[in-house]
Structure 1
Amino acid sequence: MSEPVLVALRGVSFTYEDGPAVLTGLDFEVREGRALALLGRNGSGKTTLMRLLSGGLRPSGGELTVTGLPVRYDRKGLTRLRTTVQLVVQDPDDQLFAASVGQDVSFGPLNLGLSDTEVRARVAEALAALDITALAERPTHLLSYGQRKRTAIAGAVAMRPRVLILDEPTAGLDPDGQERLLATLAGLRERGTTVVMATHDVDLALRWADDAALLTPSGARTGPAAAMLARTDLLAAAGLRLPWGVAAAQLLHRQGVLADPANGPRTPEELAAVTAGPPGGGSGATGAHP
């Protein structure tokens, strides 16, 4: 991968007070423009890793770097970090606190000391990006769960981070809500935001991510999503199952329908398109992804 590294943990260890080590000697990189899925069993350290990346926690050992420079944990250093990296936690109620949607989204930019004009522009931009402009004056306690999720993400987007980290963003959403959120994330990526998503959903990771990072007892293993999510040894170590798309691709490959299982279907629609091809198309089939 040749994309530049935006944020990295180098040899990082972390131990909570009076507890065992959660992470030891961890190396982890977020590369610009790559949609990265972070996966692992409960207790593997995903939440700790995300908080280390966003500055919510400070490493016990090793260092956090932004564009190659070590982060300093003083006011200036943390402000620089938080204008580069934003974390949205799983439960939006842990993040929302203002009376209205617009007030909540404006909180971060106001704390940067920006002018009123700039704050208004950022809030309008973030609300539009999350498709919640009509909710600007809505009291946050009257929002649906999906609307609260979008408002929490909008608050992070208003900071204009280069890296947006989302902890289980589709959890609790119905299928339509999930599709709308994925479309929103696609729009953010088109605008230049690098997105990291922690998830337990291997099928979603296969469909959405360019790269997958699997947290195992021996550390983080990162690579192209299709290849990583086909590694049954790493999946087992991370407490994860094989994605159905990988299983389907392997079956189609054995039957001669798909030339390269790494280019297999990632959605039911792509599976239908592959299997609807002419009989005997395996010799020339390249799969669902060019």
Structure 2
Amino acid sequence: MNGTEAGATPPPPAALRGVRFGYEDGPLVLDGLHLEVREGRTLALLGRNGSGKTTLMRLLAGGLRPRAGRVELAGRPVSYDRAGLTRLRTTVQLVVQDPDDQLFAASVAQDVSFGPLNLGLPEEEVRARVDEALTALDITGVADRPTHLLSYGQRKRAAIAGAVAMRPRVLVLDEPTAGLDPEGQERLLVTLEALRSTGTTVVMATHDVDLALRWADDVALLTPGGVRTGEAGELLARADVLREAGLRLPWGVAVAAALRSRRPVPARRPVPRTAEELARWVAEGGSASAPGG
């Protein structure tokens, strides 16, 4: 049955199907990898250094071409001619970790306008997209400021705004909270939630398992044995899988395990994902039933 027929589940906006990739004169980085980016859900990519997170993101965004397997957009394989790459790069936008590797124009507004201008859009449409992106990232006040005079957090936001101006279905972010102070991290997470509410599916690569547990709906753990995917609250409670990926247990999972070892707690109750949820656990003695249960 075609995924667009009535009653059928639509295909994901982006997917990797049996992808294999290795750099020239090097070993394979990814081999037979399957990954779906599900519509409207936040996805965290986790793994040790060298596990292939950056390679995976570049394959999704069209910066690399797989040796085998395929990249799909809405169920259709990507072709690597000009039209196919344009389709891919307007559907999936990648923002790299260091904003200084992405910003190059004289002012913030000029930088954000670069992508839409390259699409050949009318001036009015470009202006509308720039205004929309600057508003979404809360940086309208620095639109005319030279990018090199921005704070690090503002440069991060400007780089993301440039991607948002392309109106992608999927926004891929490489360590977006790295280098930000706690307030800057909180503001960015609020912004990402707002983007999700307007229809953008967000993928974030991170080393921070606590952030992944708190923020993501789904996680993909890159391990030497392949990719493990699942819902964040379930997969990030698997100590065996996390060890395989070279990661530690999130603090919320560890605290929940400690509480369960001291008093009865319903197994179906989700682990605390934020400090507020942990405080409720402690206040309730750790034994209240799951919300809605």
1:253 and 1:169 map into 2 onto residues whose CA distance is 34
Question: Structure 2 length as normaliser, TM-score?
Answer: 0.94
| Equivalent runs, 1:145-164 vs 2, <5 Å | 145-164=152-171
Are 1:246 and 2:250 an aligned pair? no
Gaps of 5+ in 1: none
Deviation of 1:3 after TM superposition, in Å, equals 6.9
Question: Contact 1:7/1:67 (CA < 8 Å) preserved in 2?
Answer: yes
Deviation of 1:257 after TM superposition, in Å, equals 6.1
Question: Contact 1:263/1:286 (CA < 8 Å) preserved in 2?
Answer: yes
SS in 1 for 2:13: strand
Question: Structure 1 length as normaliser, TM-score?
Answer: 0.95
- Of 16, 19, 23 in structure 2, the residue corresponding to residue 12 of structure 1 is 19
2:253 and 2:220 map into 1 onto residues whose CA distance is 17
Are 1:265 and 2:269 an aligned pair? no
1:245 and 1:144 map into 2 onto residues whose CA distance is 32
1:202 and 1:54 map into 2 onto residues whose CA distance is 24
Q: Residues 3 and 217 from structure 1, CA distance in 2 versus in 1: closer, same or farther, beyond 3 angstroms?
A: farther
Aligned to 1:201: 208
> How many correspondences in the alignment?
285
Gaps of 5+ in 2: 1-8
Q: Residues 3 and 236 from structure 1, CA distance in 2 versus in 1: closer, same or farther, beyond 3 angstroms?
A: farther
Question: Contact 2:269/2:289 (CA < 8 Å) preserved in 1?
Answer: no
1:258-278 per-position Cα deviation (integer Å, ceiling 9, x unaligned): 42365121111221122112x
Aligned to 1:286: 290
Aligned to 1:180: 187
| Equivalent runs, 1:211-222 vs 2, <5 Å | 211-222=218-229
Residues 255-264 or 37-46, more deviating: 255-264
Calculate percent identity across the aligned residue pairs: 72
Question: Contact 1:249/1:261 (CA < 8 Å) preserved in 2?
Answer: no
Q: Residues 24 and 137 from structure 1, CA distance in 2 versus in 1: closer, same or farther, beyond 3 angstroms?
A: same
Are 1:89 and 2:96 an aligned pair? yes
**1:129 is aligned with what amino acid?**
A
Aligned to 1:43: 50
2:10 and 2:150 map into 1 onto residues whose CA distance is 39
Aligned to 2:63: 56
2:83 and 2:10 map into 1 onto residues whose CA distance is 27
**2:289 is aligned with what amino acid?**
A
Question: Contact 1:167/1:198 (CA < 8 Å) preserved in 2?
Answer: yes
1:103 and 1:267 map into 2 onto residues whose CA distance is 38
Question: Contact 1:7/1:29 (CA < 8 Å) preserved in 2?
Answer: yes
1:3 and 1:225 map into 2 onto residues whose CA distance is 22
Question: Contact 1:235/1:242 (CA < 8 Å) preserved in 2?
Answer: yes
Aligned to 1:105: 112
The Cα RMSD (Å) is 1.5
1:150-180 per-position Cα deviation (integer Å, ceiling 9, x unaligned): 0000000000000000000000000000000
**Which aligned segments of 4 or more residues in structure 1 are displaced greater than 3 angstroms?**
254-258
- Of 66, 79, 82 in structure 1, the residue corresponding to residue 73 of structure 2 is 66
